[in-house]
Amino acid sequence: MYAVRQFGNGIFSMNGREWSLLVACLLAIILFSVVSPHYATSGNAATVLRNSVELLLIGLGMTLLLAMGGIDVSIGIVMGLAAIAIGRVLGAGGNPLLALVAGPMVGALLGCVTATVVVLGRVPAIVGTLGLLGVYRTAVFVLLGGQWLSGLPSSLTNLLATTVLGVPVPALVIAIAYLAVWLALRRTPYGLHLLAIGNSEEKARLSGIPVIKTRFMTFVISCVLTGIAATFYVATYRNVEMTIGSTLALDAIAAVILGGTSILGGRCSLIGTVLGVLLLRILQNGLLLIGVPSLWQPVVTGILIIGVLGFEAVSNRFPLVQLLRARA
């Protein structure tokens, strides 16, 4: 169970799980290319990558949360609330720079609310964030007043659709976010504390780790990343609809678990999360192109979660599978 390979702490270290995800991505691409003539185009590749931006940012935060033994099921609606704030700033003709900081700021604020409930209030994370999900969802309805925010000015879009030295801004931001999260996780005391808490909160406390501070910070970091995701969302779609973010938490948890992060905490893979997000988006896009209605997307996500966790439960029960896995 604690094979040494987990300690591949390199920035892009891959283990068996991650290689198989990469293979799964490639297989899916080949399969869809054969079935649909519209699939293997550069335009579609761009669409898949474009659709992955928000989920990549949110997935990084969710990886930290799950690794710590936490979870945030309200994360999609947090993005919705941040997107509304950004939309309002843009709609009022506000400075695009203000719109740029509005997302992370609203994210930080909501992260403090979540952390207050879950960490300071000691409500179990799954229950606390489920409660907040209800509250936030109603807040989205009330703030939007039953109407979409649409036709937002393109000032933010112009700012984020550019390239820096030939690299698209979203790719750059994701690279920076990945590097920052990886450094925090593998190169600072915070990362060690987070993993220790994920292993056992009680032992972490006995070891003299600042458990409350570490947990609080992590919920806030996750929401700030979500606020940045909201900025890209508004820049791309230039509208905010009533159902914004409703499947994001499910997608994020699915991608992170696919990537090899333990739902029980203590173990995580950032590169796995990236590959998990890509696989999820490739499948969702491909199924759409071969004629499966988008209504079915959450079904695919759900089946992936159940499949992965089911497989892990089975492989933990049967020694043979465990043995095979230990050899991997």
Partner 1 sequence: MTEPFLVARNIAKRFGALTALANVDLEIRSGEVLALLGDNGAGKSTFIKILAGAHPPSDGELVIEGSPVAFSSPKDAASSGIATIFQELALSENLSIAENVFLGRELKRSILGIPFLKRKEMRQRVDGLLKELDAHISDPEAPVGSLSGGQRQAVAICRALNLNARLVIMDEPTAALAVAETRKVLALTRRLAARGCAVVLISHNISEVFEVADRIVVFRRGRKVAERLAAETNHEEVVSLITGAHPDVRALEKPN
Chain residues that interact with partner 1, rule: CB under 8 A: 1-4, 6-7, 183, 187-190, 192-193, 195-196, 198-200, 203-204, 206-209, 266-267
State residue 179 phi and psi, 5-degree precision: -60, -45
Minimum gap (Å) between residue 65 Cβ and partner 1:
16
Query: How far apart are the C-alpha atoms of 277 and 213, rounded to whole Å?
Result: 29
User: Of the two residues 39 and 216, which places its CB atom closer to partner 1 in the complex?
Assistant: 216
Find the length of the chain.
328
Minimum gap (Å) between residue 212 Cβ and partner 1:
14
Give the closest residue to 44 by CA, choosing from 287, 301, 285: 285
Give the closest residue to 267 by CA, choosing from 178, 191, 190: 191
**Residue 208 class from Cβ within 10 Å (0-12 exposed, 13-18 middle, 19+ buried)?**
exposed
Minimum gap (Å) between residue 182 Cβ and partner 1:
12
Hey, what are 289's tokens? 């192109």
Hey, what are 92's tokens? 């009022």
| Start-end of H helices in 149-208 | 155-160, 169-187, 189-199, 201-206
User: Of the two residues 99 and 211, which places its CB atom closer to partner 1 in the complex?
Assistant: 211
User: Of the two residues 49 and 192, which places its CB atom closer to partner 1 in the complex?
Assistant: 192
User: Of the two residues 38 and 203, which places its CB atom closer to partner 1 in the complex?
Assistant: 203
Minimum gap (Å) between residue 15 Cβ and partner 1:
14
Give the number of other Cβ atoms within 10 Å of residue 166's Cβ.
5
Q: Please, are residues 209 and 196 in contact by the beta-carbon 8 Å criterion?
A: yes
User: Of the two residues 60 and 211, which places its CB atom closer to partner 1 in the complex?
Assistant: 211
Minimum gap (Å) between residue 211 Cβ and partner 1:
10
Q: Which residues pair with 240 in a beta bridge?
A: 149
Helix axes 75-91, 248-258, angle to 10 degrees: 130
Query: How far apart are the C-alpha atoms of 130 and 265, rounded to whole Å?
Result: 19
User: Of the two residues 161 and 323, which places its CB atom closer to partner 1 in the complex?
Assistant: 323
User: Of the two residues 142 and 206, which places its CB atom closer to partner 1 in the complex?
Assistant: 206
Minimum gap (Å) between residue 323 Cβ and partner 1:
16
| Start-end of H helices in 36-74 | 42-67
Minimum gap (Å) between residue 326 Cβ and partner 1:
11
